Amino acid sequence: MSRVFRLYDVLAVTHHLPSVGSDYQAILEYLSGEPIPAPTHALRVADECRTWLLEQHPELCDVPPCPDFKGDEAAMDAWCAEQALRVGETMPLNPLPLDRRDFRSHMEAVLDHAHPQDVDVVDPEKVAGFLGRE
């Protein structure tokens, strides 16, 4: 069973087009079959979902890399509209097959983006007063 998504949401996954978090969450949850309760949880499924989208719609491989829009939403919309002329405004998508849903752990995915030496570990005993728990 396929579901239709806007190109904007598809390009958020395949080309890192900035998008509304809830739309990005919805497409990843649909494709992966996994809940995405926080943005960091998207890290564990995004790569496999991207690969799957490109397999389903090889024409997306011809879409150029997403430029740095520097926060200019009109430029983002214009770039996306250009791509819609090439590949369409919406795309029917199928979820990942069950045998391709062996995702890495949440912590592995997070550490790929924030290496352990860059993560501060907080001792709960030392911050108890700060947190209002003495």
Is 108 a member of any domain? Answer: yes
Q: How many domains does the chain have?
A: 1
- Domain annotation covers residue 59: yes
Q: What is the pLDDT of residue 5?
A: 96
In this structure, is residue 134 part of a structural domain? no
In a domain, 132, yes or no: no
* Residue 126 CB-density burial (10 A; 0-12 exposed, 13-18 middle, 19+ buried): exposed
Q: Is residue 37 part of a domain?
A: yes
Q: Give percent above pLDDT 90 in the chain.
A: 57
Choice between 134 and 61, residue whose per-residue pLDDT is larger: 61
Integer-rounded Cα Rg, in Å, for the chain is 18
* Residue 56 domain flag: yes
- Mean predicted lDDT score pLDDT of the chain: 85
In a domain, 53, yes or no: yes
Name the helix (H) or strand (E) containing 3.
strand 3-6
pTM, entire model: 0.76
Residue 31's CB is within 10 A of a number of other CB atoms, namely 24
What confidence tens digit (pLDDT) does each residue in 56-102 have? Answer: 999 999 999 999 999 999 999 999 999 999 999 999 999 999 887 77
24 within some domain: yes
In angstroms, the CA 13 to CA 52 distance is 10
Q: Which domain holds residue 30?
A: 3-127
